[in-house]
Structure 1
Amino acid sequence: MAGNRQLPMDLLLIAGFVLITNIFILVPVLSDSFPRTYLGVILVLFLPGYALTGALFPAKKDIDGIERAAISFGLSISIAPILGLSLNYSSWGIREIPLLTEFSIFTLLMCVIAYYRRRLLSETEVFGVSFKKCYLSMKARVLEKPESKTDKVIAFIFVLSMLASIGSLAYIIGNPKEGEHFTEFYILGNNSTIGDYPTEFVQGEKGTVTVGIINHEYRPMDYTIDVRLENRSLQESQKQISLGNNMSWEEPVTFTPPLKGKNMKLEFLLFNETEKTIPYRNLNLWINVTEEA
């Protein structure tokens, strides 16, 4: 059992990268900045695999540094679709914030497990990264035995290929091909399900539906929701929402029908920032409002 020892710098760096990536993605001022994309690529393609490798192989004798790096990339590529698939079958869906949360929690959890397993080993057995030792080791190798031209060319091609692959992937992720620009607009009934909408009212009785918006316009959008009964606006139910690209909003909207009658048209109108008079999207319910007994 190990006693007091230095904190594992590699695991601390992994945790630090996760924290910084979350800041750059979640903080509005930084979310459109250049580093955000590359931090996201690192979070997806390297950090989870490295943390998992650390949890699986806590001893330095298990695998060497180059193998550890290669396995980290391979495991990350394998982990990404599994985490994405698990979200696909959840209520959150494959969206930016749930993905960020899942990758962050998985990586940090693996770091904790890796740290715990290293604590069970002696200081001579445990794997660790000492940047000073790495520098001195590389310097000693250079002085001790110069590499042949063939080795240098192979190493250069390998590093160049890795950088080119990461750069290409980062560019593709950071500059995706834009698809159709549209906004999802929907209403849900009782228990937030499709159907079972409130349609029968006594005059003065309140009704509630869940209204949802998902922005797929490839830019931030400002929306206004207006609820109208027989073309009469119910001011109490108006909502103003601002959403970034691929962001969603879903909240209950309460309304009180001021008129009585049968088969009256209750409209849920969505206006965007460029058109304030013509609805961008609209949904209808037909309701009956009777006089209070």
Structure 2
Amino acid sequence: MDEPRGLWRYWDLLAIIGLSILLDILIYAFPDSIVRKILGLAFVLFFPGYVFITALFPEKKELDDLERLALSFGLSIAIVPMIGLALNYTSWGIRLTPILVSLTLFNLIFSTIAIYRRKTAIKPWIPWTTLEDMKRELGWESASGLDKALTVVLIIAIVTSVGVLAYVVTHPKPGEAFTEFYILGPNGKASDYPTELLVEENATVIIGIVNHEHRNVTYYVQIWLVNLTWDKGTNTTVIHEMYPMPGWFNVTLHPIPVNIEGNWTPEFEKRYTFRIDRPGKWQLWFLLFKDHQPELPPAPSDGNYAKTDAKNLILKAINGTIQSLKLNIYVHE
């Protein structure tokens, strides 16, 4: 078969340049496209090694087709982490855009070098364009039974590896499930919290929740006013007073993905205004429950739950088994 002429001599390298640019467009225009995922696999696992090998060994006699194929995958797996390592020591860091730009430039530069090297080669290697070309390049007809078997095994291994990687990329394991629970000061910042008040003085905080549980969750927020001390003799927490504060609420939130590239945005925030009607050193506890909240014992006549099983909620919050937040507040007369 006649050797390809004109631009057809470089069809593989031009295709890699075009597909690399196409992937850049797909990532920003159609980020959830299945084509993006399939093309992204080739972009990371094949293109860098292929253009590098083609630039290094443009002559047909230097490597056979299977060696080029295997080295393209192997070198891609080596090149991509090295580019990531280099980015890690720059101000850009290992983020989507710097990685995408770096790999695209790598493919463009080495494709251009490979085109020049192939143009000046005596007998350049040009990928087969038909099945007959592939058989002739592999020497299939003259190969021994063992060589044919090894070739088939190698091809199956490569196809299987690519298939497994494609499945892993297109069916990623869900990330860690968690909930963001926070309180902010009245100005929406993590500062200026009301830590000193007068009796019956109004104070405001902002309660925030973000659902990263990968499912819809109904959240219940309880708010308790607690007076407690630490008994050094027994190494235990002693709860003296525990009163439910008005304003308990629940809200159902849809899950949102963790966005490590863009700016953080809140999902649910609620302004909570409260006042404390007695002086002393208090802790205002915000307890968060998912899907359901525990039942409380009957309300004591004086409203103080410290001598009921409800005190275990605060003890569990202190031990970290209940997601919670607290404010230390000193109330003056």
* TM-score bin, normalised by smaller chain: 0.5 to 0.7
| Deviation at residue 120 of structure 1 after TM alignment | 2.2
Indicate yes or no: 2:277 matched with 1:277: no
- Aligned residue for 2:125? 127
Are the structure 2 counterparts of residues 13 and 278 from structure 1 closer, same or farther at C-alpha, using a change threshold of 3 Å?
farther
In structure 2, what is the equivalent of residue 169 of structure 1? 165
CA distance in 2, matches of 1:161, 1:98: 32
Distance 1:245 1:135, change over 3 A: farther
**Which region of structure 1 is more displaced relative to structure 2, 6-15 or 154-163?**
154-163
Distance 1:20 1:50 in 2: 18
Post-superposition offset of 1:159: 2.6
- 1:149-171 deviation per Cα after TM superposition (whole angstroms, max 9, x unaligned): x6555444333322221122223
TM-score (norm 1): 0.56
Q: If you compute each CA radius of gyration, which structure gives the higher value, 1 or 2?
A: 2
Q: Could you say which residue in structure 2 is the equivalent of 1:223? A: none
Relative distance call for 1:17 and 1:146 in structure 2 (3 A) is same
Asked if the contact 1:217–1:245 (Cα under 8 Å) also holds between the matched residues in 2, the reply is no
> Aligned partner of 2:262: which letter?
S
2: distance between equivalents of 1:136 and 1:121? Answer: 20
Structure 2 alignment gaps of length 5 or more: 181-209, 215-255, 273-333
Change (3 A) 1:142 1:114: closer
Residues 212 and 257 of structure 2 are in contact (CA less than 8 Å); yes or no, is this contact kept in structure 1?
no
Corresponding residue for residue 48 of structure 1: 48
Q: CA deviation at 1:33?
A: 2.1
Q: Are the structure 2 counterparts of residues 181 and 100 from structure 1 closer, same or farther at C-alpha, using a change threshold of 3 Å?
A: farther
Match of 1:71 in 2: 71
Q: Distance in 1 between matches of 2:211 and 2:104?
A: 25
The Cα RMSD (Å) is: 3.6
Aligned AA for 2:106? F
**Counterpart for residue 86 of structure 1:** 86
Alignment of 1:246-265 (within 5 A): 246-249=260-263
For the 8 Å contact 1:14–1:47, the answer to whether it is kept is: yes
Provide the secondary structure at the position in 1 that maps to 2:80: helix
> 1:10 corresponds to which residue?
12
Residues 140, 148 of structure 2: 8 Å contact kept = no
Evaluate the alpha carbon distance shift between residue 166 and residue 182 of structure 1 in structure 2; reply closer, same or farther with a 3 A threshold: farther
In structure 2, C-alpha distance between the alignment counterparts of 1:171 and 1:276, rounded to whole Å: 38
Q: Which amino acid aligns with 1:159?
A: I
Q: Distance in 1 between matches of 2:150 and 2:16?
A: 28
Give the aligned partner of residue 26 of structure 2. 24
Asked if the contact 1:49/1:72 (under 8 Å) is kept, the reply is yes
Change (3 A) 1:83 1:152: same
Rounded Cα–Cα distance in structure 1 between residues aligned with 2:79 and 2:149: 32
Query: Which aligned pairs between 1:99-138 and structure 2 lie closer than 5 A?
Result: 99-122=99-122, 125-132=123-130, 134-136=131-133, 138=135
1:35 Cα deviation from its structure 2 partner: 2.6
Q: Which residue identity is paired with 1:157?
A: V
Cα deviation for residue 84 of structure 1 reads 0.6
CA positional deviation for 1:46: 0.7
Query: Structure 2: how far apart are the matches of 1:21 and 1:104?
Result: 9
Indicate conservation of the 8 Å contact 1:9/1:130, yes or no: no
Give yes or no for contact 2:64–2:137 (8 Å, CA) kept in 1: no
Distance 1:245 1:218 in 2: 14
CA contact (8 A) 2:118 2:124 kept: yes
Aligned-residue offset at 1:78:
0.9
The share of aligned pairs that are identical, in percent, is 33
User: Which runs of structure 2 are paired with 1:128-207 in the superposition (5 Å)?
Assistant: 128-132=126-130, 134-136=131-133, 138=135, 148=145, 153-174=149-170, 175-179=172-176
Which sections of structure 1, spanning at least 5 residues, go unmatched? 184-214, 220-241, 251-269, 280-293
Matched-pair contact (CA < 8 Å) for 1:60–1:127: yes
Alpha-carbon separation, structure 2, partners of 1:56 and 1:93:
29
Return the letter of the residue paired with 1:179: E
1:243 Cα shift? Answer: 9.5
Letter in 1 for 2:125: F
Kindly provide the amino acid, as one letter, of the partner of residue 15 in structure 2: L
How far did residue 12 of structure 1 move? 1.4
Measure, in 2, the Cα distance between the counterparts of 1:56 and 1:141: 21
Query: TM-score, with normalisation over the residues of structure 2?
Result: 0.50
Counterpart secondary structure, 2:270? coil
Deviation readout 1:17-42 (Å, 9 max, x if unpaired)? 21232232121xx2112232221121
Q: How does 1:32-43 map to 2 (within 5 A)?
A: 32-43=32-43
